[in-house]
Structure 1
């Protein structure tokens, strides 16, 4: 049972890292390069789509890591799993405190109702997101290291 939990946890966190890395370093750069309001509309739509999915993914990955830490407490690598769970907690707190408020505003923006500082808010979201990506990459690394 522990092996199955480990696989599900590592796959879940790994896929989350892949999606968030892609958003940070590929998707947002593509959206910034689009002409006119296409990038703004793309970010708003992406914010609605991912904003609906990612809370479950982040919390689910945290729960899986927590269960792994409890069930595998007496096994090799338990401290690494606890560290990973701690980093996932940091990522959730960052999301709620820093990223979600910006995303909740941005996902409603259109060419007609965007604020004057919409690009600065988007850039701030991107900077916070880069840090969050680093945090979840570190959590994923600890989970993988716990397996070996």
Structure 2
């Protein structure tokens, strides 16, 4: 599978290849900050087949978290494009909304951190669901 995408203003562009390592929605409180209150829907792709083709993102990692993720976003428009996680060292986590064709995502294989879901969020019942991260 080959995908392309970028930020809202067009200053950041990327391409990724290979098969998705994971397709999921996360309901943790941290993700709610990034999405404006909804679940964070993402696709983890092999890092070896990912590259930025235009522009360079700005990175942010919370210094107070032991294993804080690196969030990559457009320095111009602020679109959160990707995440690099120590929990998935061989993957880049792409935000589905940044894909040129979000329909290639299909649907999540799982939901996680559902213990943090808000009453207004819909958690699908027909896929694997975890109150915390899988394996915890």
Relative contact order higher in (CA < 8 Å, ≥ 6 apart): 1
More helix by share: 1
What's the TM-score once normalised by structure 2's chain length? 0.24
TM-score by length of 1: 0.23
Determine which structure has more spread, i.e. the larger CA radius of gyration.
1
- Determine which structure has the larger strand proportion and give its number: 2
